[in-house]
Structure 1
Amino acid sequence: MSRPAFLDQEPPPGYISGIGRGATGFTTSADTGSLQPGFTIENGEESDDNLAGEIGDEGAILASGKNRDKEDEEADQIYEEIERKLQRRKVLKEEAVSEAENQSYEIKSKFSDLKRSLSSISAEQWEALPEVGDITRRNKRTRLYEQQQQRTYAVPDSVIAGSIARASPTNFQSISESRDQLLSSQLDSLLPKHEIEFNAEEATEILKNDQHVQIADIRKGRQILASLRRTQPNSSNSWIASARLEEQATNYTMAKKLIIEGCKHAPKSEDIWLESIRIHKLTSEGAKMCKVIVAESLKYNPGSEKLWIQAENLENSIDVVSRKRILMRAIEAIPSSASLWKRLVDLETNQDDVSKILTKAIELCPTEWDFWLTLINSSEYKDAKTLLNRARKALNGNYQVWITAAKLEERENSTIDSSKISKLMDKAFKETEKSTTTISRTTWLEEAIKAEEEGFRNTCRAIVNSLLSSEINQDNPEENLVTWFQDAETLASKESVEAANYIHQFIVETNPHSINSWKELFSFLKNSSNRNLDTLFNYYKRSIELNPKVEVLHLMYAKDLWQLAGNIVEARKVLNAASHGLENNEEVWFARIKLEIKSGNFEQALSISSKMIKAIPTSSDRVWYKHIHLVRCMNNREQNPNYEGQILALLESGLDSFPESPRLHLQKIQVLLRDLRKPDIARESARAAVEKLPSIVELWILLSHIDEQHLNILIKARSVLDTAILKNPTSDKLWTAKIQLERRNKDFVAARQLVNKGLKAFPKSSRIWIEYLSLIPKMSHRKTAFLDALKSTENSPEILLGIGVFFWLDSKHSKAKSWFERALSNDRNSGECWGWLFNFMKSYGKQQEKENLINSFESHYEEINKGDIWNSTNKDITNFEKTPKEILELVSKVLISKYST
């Protein structure tokens, strides 16, 4: 194939390779030349000839305006508008420049006369002008300069410890400032004396506060301290600091030399002598040189207690005679020094000599209570009383004198009447009230604790009684009870059981008819670490003597005799005695019956119950209910051939006395239905009951249950519930019963409809929410409903337990446990919460956890009264003799069987 001819030709002007097929994305002036066809520039000038000749027809068309559309006209208008704006901006800029030039000329013209007057200023005046500082970023530069000038020092622990010991804070800012002044000052050897400006007072203060700070530059430190010694030669601080500096530099010879010289310049300063002793102890001379120093120091400072103590310490510890001799000389110099007298007493072993020393000590130091106390404790009773009288006069208002007097009386006579000691303490409170010193109640309680620890119980009690008596409000004696009970708790926590007991005794003595006070006392005594049952029972007797008509005291006493002491005989006596004084009190009768049942005396229990029916037949329907229940249980144990006539007669008698008693009607229906197996008669009895008591929903539910479960008439069962709802429209329990009826009969559509209606009518009903959650088939769908149920019922225990049950059924047992525990913590009276948690512990818990749960359950057994399954199981006559643990086992099994089906 031959080569195309156009490939050897020049491309036309403006040609771009591949542009026709879109092979290039953009073009530049380098590709196309001028923006207009045929436009060229030669030597930087436009060629008019080429321009005119090469425009051709196309240029003519553009120039003539042919083929121009609306867009071209709009573009021209835009370009013209832009051009006008640019021209206007240029004009404004030129005007601004012109105005600025005019203003500059006006300012220059204003100062022209001042400029001309500068020609008359002399050279001296020019030189006197101050330098113009550069204030640019002046504040920042000043701050940076100040930061550069700051210095930091590592302060050793000794400085901090020393400041704490002096009970005054170390001024580290003062230390830094003074250090700068010391280190920046010129030394005497380098400057003439008239140029030295040294603040000796400030340097002395800093050295005094910072004696143990390490000096980094030893040479400068020596120069500074030398200057300080020359400036203030009689100041001990400079000599001490100089010696310590040399000690830090391990130059002990110079340290000793300086401190000895310092002692010569400041001989009346005990600090410099003590420092000298300390330094010389570290050297080879040891104690021998120190004795010489301390002897010399005492010539100048005979009244220094510290130096005398140093002198005594320097003696051999075994040489008691020398130590006594020094202390006696010290006391001659300082007879009022209590510390010296104490050291002398400590060295004396002979009791007679001790008494003589103490006698002299209290003459010279009459306000030192420790001397009085030691002498009193070592004296005979008669002498001690004399000393106490003297101490009372010398130490006016000192409460310890009176406490010691009380202890003395108790020590000498253990059988002393406690009222005598109480009088002493009452006087103590009166004396302290007159004095200017206020004794806090905490101090008095601490003294009571101390007296108890020392074995002075009567004194302890007297302190407590006097303190509480001074606080009692005569108008409202019980006003302080909260504070006093808190005091007793605090004392008991400190193992001061007797003192706490005395507080409780005072409370019940001042409030003998306050039953709460007696209960608090009994609770304290029972929970005490060293519980004494005899003391507890004595208080019970006392409370009953003061409040014979309060049955709770009799019941508590009998219960504790039975459960704490295991003394059923005494418990029976207490209850029998109570029944004579409170013959119409049904609680006492019930307690007597329960005691016999728990102790296995069922015949005796039935006999007492029969007597109760005859004694108080109209007391309450509970009396008849309890008696009939016991008769049923006894018949279950041993079949009674006359049971039917007997039980029906009892029911009729009870209903005659209380015809509108729901519990008796329910009991009668249960007897007919379960004991006598007569569902038809039971239904008639239930129908008559609902006619008489239409507001009792339990009767309606039981009637429906008979129709459904025993007579198999489902239509009647539904009709009964519908009628019940019409008569009791505000009862969610009836709605729940109706929903459960449909669920039992597998009509889930009707059940869901009823649940939806029920939630509209009772949005906060836990029962209906449980039914709603039960009808949700999948666990994943239930989770969002859980939140709605919790929110609507405000986290009710029933919903918490129900969620736990759903997790259990979903085999998520750990989650179930957490929900069971939450439900139980919210309601410990729910038997079903205990049952479900026991199910978990039985299958997955540790043995110790299971035992702890059982123990906790047994302690709460009497209060547990909630839960349909719990109540039906616990009250079942077949479980009459079962223990609480066995009842819990049964409940847990019933719960599993109910929810597994």
Structure 2
Amino acid sequence: MTWRDFLSQPAPENYVAGLGRGATGFTTRSDLGPAREGPSEDQIKAAVAKRSAQLGLTESKDDDNDNDDATRYQDPDNEVGLFAGGIYEKDDEEADRIWKDVDDRMAKRRQKQREAREEADRLEYERKNPKIQQQFAGLKRALETVSDEEWASLPDVKDLTGRAKRERQARMQRFYAVPDSVLAAARDTGQFGTTVADDGAANDANKDGTVTDFAKIGAARDKVLRARLEQESQSSGTATAGSATSIDPKGYLTSLSSMQGAEQSIGDIEQFRKMLKSAVDSNPKQAASWIAAARLELTAGKHVAARNLIAKGCEHCPKSEDIWLENIHLNENRNAKVIAARAIEANPQSVKLWVEAMKLENDPRSRKKVIRKALDHNPESEALWKEAVNLEEEVEDARMLLAKATDLIPESLDLWLALARLETPANARKVLNKAVKKLPSSHELWIAAARLEEQLGESTQRPVMKNAVKFLAKQNAMPKREEWIAEAEKCEDEGAPITCRNIIEETLGWGLDEDDDRKEIWMEDAKSSIARNKFETARAIYAYALRIFTNSKTLYLAAVDLERNHGAKEDMWRALERAVVACPKVEIFWLMLAKEKSSDINEARVILARAFKQNPNSEDIWLSAVKLEADSGFIDEARGILATARHNAPTDRVWMRSVAFERQLGNSDTTLELVREGIKLFPGAPKLYMMKGQIYEDLCQLAEAREAYSTGVRAVPSSVPMWLLYSRLEERNGNVVKARSVLDRARQAVPKAPELWVELIRVERRAGNLTQAKSLMAKALQQMPKSGLLWAERILNLEARTQRKALLAEALKKVEDDPILLVTVARILWAERKLDRAQSWFEKALLLDRDVGDSWAWYYKFLLQHGTEEKREELVAKCILNDPHHGEHWQVIAKDPRNANKKPEEVLELVAASLKR
């Protein structure tokens, strides 16, 4: 009887695979067979007739309606019954498309609201059910600030193995106190006792005749205890590597260098020794493992063991330079020479070993002998030739060696340059020409040739850099413009200014087209050189740029500024002379030149006369001539120039200068006559009205002064200083109500002027209405939240000291770059005795705006109390150079007729003395 294989037997009837374990069967299209054909025409007619009969009989029955609804929304792609054989035509497709558009339109009507609602629900769900990744997102971002040192100082992970294993390891590492008898027995093992004990032996003698030395026993016990304590103290920072089987010897070399001179615990050294021994045994051909092992023994104080290890390493790795060098360093000079000889015998091509062998020799002759042998084996080593040249004391011998070296190594730039420096000028040219043929792409050779011509004084006759640019361009070896600038700065540092200028002249325009912003690029290059204190290079850049842009005002101003700050007076005069010739219509150059020459009044007059020819009706030149004559004491000449200027250049500035000149001299009648005439000619000049009112105030004619200011504010309602003078006049006379009314009118005329708001707040504060002042301040800050003047007034005069820091923080967020606010910060830090920070804020204010005289005065007052003499002198020099003209306190003193002829440093002292903290 044959038994069938189980899998080959047919399945039982109604068998469903997996039914016993709860699986369910399923039916596929292959089980059903092919799809049925649609109904025939007879069937369709019968179905229609049957349907009509049903509709007529069951029209009022709800159950039948439900059945009809069930078939109403059937799938059009899977029709059954009556429409099973229908054809899908274009009309059907058009209808489906229209319905689809309607569905899409309805879906989009509330799409934004629906998406917003879904997004809100999602965010709310994520907020209530945050993921672990989101919970630690802030901590992950904080890891960006962790430095490498902090990472390295993180403690190691604790041992998370089982409790039994931890206890077993703790028992293995546990130390016990050893009895003295055991230590003494171990010490005396194998020794003979030479003392005989009597019956009345001392207490420290044993029965067997041995004597216990408690001092040595205590020392041994202290040594064991110290080792244990050191191990415990360092266990937190030392990795537990008991289970490690391999290490990185190269990385361990670095760690050993930091271990030199440091006390290591016995356990650590032994552990490292085992690890390195494992590394050496597993791969004896790795030199780094031997070096690490030797350095470990050296750290442990076992020099002999270190030498033995490194000697074995040299036997296993004879082709390694590093291991031979380590062996040489670990031995004394005599043994080191023998080792060096063996190392060179194994590696005759090693330059490092030859150089190390040369350093082991004490006398120069022996060193030369070693280097020459090295050159026999390595004739093309540039490093060996340099060592050989450095050993030569005679120039001729060094020259011969360099000549031989350049023949053997023609591609060495350093050797060619060294040979050129040692040769005579005539031969140096030949050497450099020969070097250029060997190294055609080297621009350093051309620079060396240019410096040689500069030393010989023939740089103008031999345009080396011009030829260099042509040659390097043909060779496609032209460096970038930035590299040429770096080479020029290098020549400047090494004392070759002519070569520096020649490099800039021939290469600054390289790679730039006329379409590029060449002027801006060159100005940036010059500023960068000035920032690096390379003034000769910057001077050459400006000179080249001015040859291209001959009439550029900005370039001439930058060049003059360079000479003023970093050059001699003669250089500045020459720069200004070139400027007035190139730009004769630019008045500022004439004025600067006349000011620089003001020490010689005749020469200054000649300059101004030349300026008059080029600019006959320039009020600036007229006023400069007046200032020159007045400062020199020629009053009548100054008055005559002003009269001529009023006739030839009748401007409001000329009339104001005339009025101010007569006022300074104390001629009240002439002053009033001039100011009346000026107002008739220039009724829209607010300064004339202000000067008229101030003149009447000086004469104590308050009614006339009030009339002058009242007329002025009606004629020029936009003049803020005139409103302020009018209000202060009324307040000084005790009419606070009138002063308040004037300021209210002023705020209507100029609503966005913070000076008017501050003045009104001060009027209320001085009148004792602090609540009203605070209310006005709140309104002012609503309209002008970025006014540093308003914030400074609020912080210093309206709020308590305890609120200053919070207000300062708020003000600094809202106000951008306001010197008044920065000075306020400095003053508050000064009051809190934070002097270094206060000084830095004063300097920030000066850098932000150098024309505000109040900033200079506050900083000078600060330095008078807490600064050095050098710092004060530096500040005064900078103040003179910048010549500030604005500031609430500065203008009051600078424009006082009594201070008309005072210099900026004198005005600075007066303003600083008038300031009150």
3-state SS of 1:588 partner: helix
* 8 Å Cα contact 2:485-2:504 kept in structure 1: yes
> Does the alignment pair 1:478 with 2:499?
no
Q: Distance in 2 between matches of 1:783 and 1:441?
A: 53
**Structure 1 residue aligned with 2:607:** 574
Q: Which residue of 2 aligns with 1:526?
A: 564
1:399 corresponds to 2:443: yes
- Residue by residue, what CA displacement relative to the aligned partner does 1:698-734 show, whole Å, maximum 9, x if unpaired? 5566556666766x88887776666666666666766
Shift, 1:736, TM fit: 6.3
Note if contact 1:662-1:696 (Cα within 8 Å) is conserved in structure 2: yes
Among 660, 663, 667, the alignment partner of 1:632 is 663
1:411 aligns with 2:411: no
Aligned mate of 2:496, from 453, 456, 464: 456
Aligned to 1:236: none
The residue aligned with 1:37 is none
Residue 469 of structure 2: which of 413, 426, 435 is its match? 426
Separation in 1, partners of 2:435, 2:295: 58
Confirm or deny that 1:658 pairs with 2:682: yes
SS in 2 for 1:249: helix
Q: CA deviation at 1:616?
A: 0.5
Task: Evaluate the alpha carbon distance shift between residue 406 and residue 709 of structure 1 in structure 2; reply closer, same or farther with a 3 A threshold.
Answer: closer
Spell out, residue by residue over 1:108-154, the C-alpha distance to the aligned partner (whole angstroms, 9 max, x if none): xxxxxxxxxxxxxxxxxxxxxxxxxxxxxx99899999975315779
Asked if 2 retains the 8 angstrom alpha-carbon contact of 1:561 and 1:568, the reply is yes
Shift of 1:656: 2.9
How far the C-alpha of 1:588 sits from its partner, in A, is: 2.4
Q: Which residue of 2 aligns with 1:317?
A: 363
**What do the CA deviations read for 1:413-453 (whole angstroms, capped 9, x no partner)?**
x0441771331331354256x25xx8566654454344345
Q: Secondary structure at the match of 1:213?
A: helix
Q: Measured at CA, do residues 789 and 406 of structure 1 come closer, stay the same or move farther in structure 2, by a change above 3 Å?
A: closer
Structure 1 pair 318–333 and aligned structure 2 pair: CA distance change class (3 A): closer
Matches within 5 A, 1:192-591: 203-206=283-286, 208-214=287-293, 248-249=304-305, 278=328, 282=332, 317=363, 319=365, 323=368, 334-342=378-386, 344-346=388-390, 355-412=399-456, 414-417=457-460, 420-430=463-473, 434-435=476-477, 439=479, 444-476=484-516, 477-481=518-522, 483-489=524-530, 491-492=532-533, 496-528=534-566, 531-562=567-598, 570-591=603-624
CA contact (8 A) 2:527 2:538 kept: no
3-state SS of paired residue (1:149) = coil
How many Å separate the matches in 2 of 1:316 and 1:793? 73
Instruction: Report the RMSD for the aligned CA atoms in angstroms.
Output: 5.8
- Cα distance change of structure 1 residues 784 and 500 upon mapping to structure 2, 3 Å threshold: closer
Could you tell me whether the CA contact under 8 Å between 2:829 and 2:837 is conserved in 1?
Answer: no
- Taking the aligned partners of 1:716 and 1:217, their CA distance within structure 2 comes to 92
Deviation at 1:392, TM superposition (A): 2.1
Q: Distance in 2 between matches of 1:365 and 1:150?
A: 51
Deviation at 1:304, TM superposition (A): 6.6
Matches of 2:453 and 2:870 in 1, distance apart? 55
CA distance in 2, matches of 1:886, 1:310: 69
What is the CA deviation profile of residues 391-417 of structure 1, one whole-angstrom value per residue up to 9, with x for unaligned ones?
2222231223322332333333x0441
Larger radius of gyration: 1
Would the aligned equivalents of 1:660 and 1:693 in 2 still touch at CA under 8 Å? yes
- When residues 351 and 848 of structure 1 are mapped into structure 2, their CA distance, relative to the original with a 3 A threshold, is closer
Deviation string 1:648-670 (CA, Å, 9 cap, x unpaired) is 43223322321222211222233
**Residues 609, 627 of structure 1: 8 Å contact kept:** yes
Deviation at residue 629 of structure 1 after TM alignment:
0.6
Quick one: structure 1 residues 805 and 822, their matched pair in 2 at CA, closer, same or farther if it must change by over 3 Å? Answer: closer
Aligned-partner Cα distance in 2 for 1:544–1:349: 58
Q: How does 1:780-791 map to 2 (within 5 A)?
A: 790=811
Question: Using a 3 Å threshold, how does the CA distance of structure 1 residues 714 and 408 change in structure 2: closer, same or farther?
Answer: closer
Structure 2 letter corresponding to 1:509:
R
* Superposition deviation, residue 824 in structure 1: 8.8
Give the TM-score taking structure 1 as reference length.
Answer: 0.59
- CA distance, structure 2, for counterparts of residue 291 and residue 821 of structure 1: 60
In structure 2, the CA distance between the partners of 1:576 and 1:176, relative to structure 1 (3 Å rule), is farther
Aligned partner of 1:159 among 225, 240, 253:
253
Q: Is the contact made by 2:795 and 2:808 (CA closer than 8 Å) also made in structure 1?
A: no
Cα pair distance change 1:791/1:398, threshold 3 Å: closer
CA contact (8 A) 1:391 1:401 kept: yes
Moved more, 349-358 or 606-615: 349-358
Structure 1 pair 628–406 and aligned structure 2 pair: CA distance change class (3 A): same
Could you tell me whether the CA contact under 8 Å between 1:425 and 1:463 is conserved in 2? no
Q: Deviations over 1:788-817 (max 9, x none)?
A: 995998497667878999999xxx786999
| SS state at 1:872 partner | helix
Contact 1:151 1:176 in 2 (8 A): no
Residues 385 and 659 of structure 1, relative CA distance in 2, 3 Å threshold: same
Q: Share of identical aligned residues, percent? A: 25
- Cα drift, residue 316 of structure 1: 7.0
Match in the other structure for 1:855: 876
Mapped to 1, the partners of 2:570 and 2:511 lie a distance apart of 31
Matched, 1:873 2:893: yes
1:65 corresponds to? none
Q: Which letter does structure 2 place at the counterpart of 1:655?
A: I
The alignment partner of 1:205 has SS state of coil
8 Å CA contact retained: 1:418, 1:458: no
Counterpart CA distance in 2 for 1:785 and 1:456 is 57
Q: How many residues align?
A: 666
Question: What TM-score does the superposition give when structure 2 sets the normalisation length?
Answer: 0.58
Instruction: Give the Cα separation in 1 of the matches to 2:452 and 2:825.
Output: 69
Does residue 595 of structure 1 match 2:628? yes
> How far apart, CA to CA, are the structure 2 residues paired with 1:313 and 1:816?
55
The amino acid across from 2:363 in the alignment is S
1:622 CA drift (Å): 1.8
Report the 3-state secondary structure (helix = DSSP H, G, I; strand = E; otherwise coil) of the residue aligned with 1:554. Answer: helix
Which amino acid in the other structure matches residue 293 of structure 2?
Answer: Q
CA deviation vs aligned residue, 1:329-372 (integer Å, no higher than 9, x gap)? 66556544445545555555665565555444433332233443
Aligned to 1:228: none
Within-5 A mapping of 1:700-849: 748=768, 756=775, 759-760=778-779, 763-764=782-783, 790=811, 794=815, 826=845, 829=851, 831=853, 848=869
CA contact (8 A) 1:508 1:517 kept: yes
Partner SS, residue 654 of structure 1: helix
Code of the residue aligned with 2:563 in structure 1: it is: L
CA distance in 2, matches of 1:341, 1:351: 15
Change beyond 3 A, Cα 1:817–1:756: farther
Deviation string 1:835-891 (CA, Å, 9 cap, x unpaired) is: 66767777x656749946972784377323231x54333322233344445545655
Aligned AA (1:456):
A
8 A Cα contact 1:558 1:575, kept in partner: yes
One-letter amino acid of the counterpart of residue 628, structure 1: V
Q: Which amino acid aligns with 2:582?
A: L
**Residue 622 of structure 1 pairs with residue 622 of structure 2:** no
Contact 1:512/1:543 (CA < 8 Å) preserved in 2?
A: no
> Partner amino acid for 1:480?
I
CA deviations over 1:50-83 (Å, ceiling 9, x no partner)? xxxxxxxxxxxxxxxxxxxxxxxxxxxxxxxxxx
Q: Give the 3 Å change call, closer, same or farther, for CA 816–249 of structure 1 in structure 2.
A: closer
Q: Residue 806 and residue 679 in structure 1: after superposition, are their counterparts in 2 closer, same or farther (change >3 A)? A: farther
